[in-house]
């Protein structure tokens, strides 16, 4: 969850972690509890990552990068599509015939988002911010991920201010639910 380093290093480490999780899912031959645990794990990571980006990365992009509003809006729209897929997966039985199709859709959406961030957004941010600003953003991202929700909430507001106000409480409730159910502990 927290890898250290500046914001770009932190988020790229998250991207590699998610790619490894997807590879494990693709290597699975069956469904059941093993698949449910893997889907829960990827959901937790993606939700935390998205909330942290929406709270800190995209406001920085809006502030520092030329055309940042357009870029941030596109990335937030990507997150909304992923969160809808995650919500559908959360409610789906692992034996459901649609599960593999929905997982593939998730992998495709996330891969496109990662490619876009790493090829376009991150280089622009690196060119627009000082190393100190990038380090500060990395610290903020790590703190946000630690407090973020662990379940998809597609109806939640995605503005940075609303997210900063609501995410810690929602995150606390999600983590309590996870503790009681054992979700994410495999």
Task: Confirm whether 84 is domain-assigned.
Answer: yes
In this prediction the pTM is 0.83
More confident residue, 21 or 153: 21
CATH number of the domain that residue 26 is part of? 1.20.120
Q: For 7-12, what is the mean pLDDT?
A: 96
Domain that holds residue 47: 7-181
Gap between the Cα atoms of 59 and 50, Å rounded: 13
pLDDT tens-place string over residues 125-174: 999 999 999 999 999 999 988 887 776 666 555 655 545 545 555 544 45
Among residues 41, 24, 29, the alpha carbon closest in space to that of 89 is found at 41
* Among 39-48, 63-72, 162-171, the least confident range: 162-171
Q: For 22-41, what is the mean pLDDT?
A: 89
């Amino acid at each position: 969850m927290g890898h250290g380093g500046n914001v770009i290093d932190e988020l790229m480490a998250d991207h590699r972690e998610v790619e490894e999780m997807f590879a494990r899912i693709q290597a699975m031959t069956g469904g059941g509890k093993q698949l449910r645990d893997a889907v829960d794990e990827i959901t937790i990571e993606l939700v935390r990552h998205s909330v942290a980006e929406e709270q800190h990365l995209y406001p920085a992009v809006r502030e520092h990068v030329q055309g940042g509003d357009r870029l941030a809006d596109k990335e937030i729209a990507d997150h909304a599509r992923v969160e809808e897929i995650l919500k559908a997966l959360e409610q789906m039985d692992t034996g459901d015939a649609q599960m593999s199709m929905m997982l593939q859709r998730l992998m495709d959406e996330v891969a496109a988002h990662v490619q876009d961030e790493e090829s376009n957004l991150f280089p622009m941010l690196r060119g627009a911010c000082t190393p100190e600003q990038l380090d500060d953003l990395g610290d903020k991202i790590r703190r946000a991920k630690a407090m973020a929700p662990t379940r998809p909430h597609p109806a939640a507001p995605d503005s940075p201010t609303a997210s900063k106000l609501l995410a810690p409480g929602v995150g606390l409730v999600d983590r309590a639910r996870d503790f009681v159910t054992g979700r994410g502990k495999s």
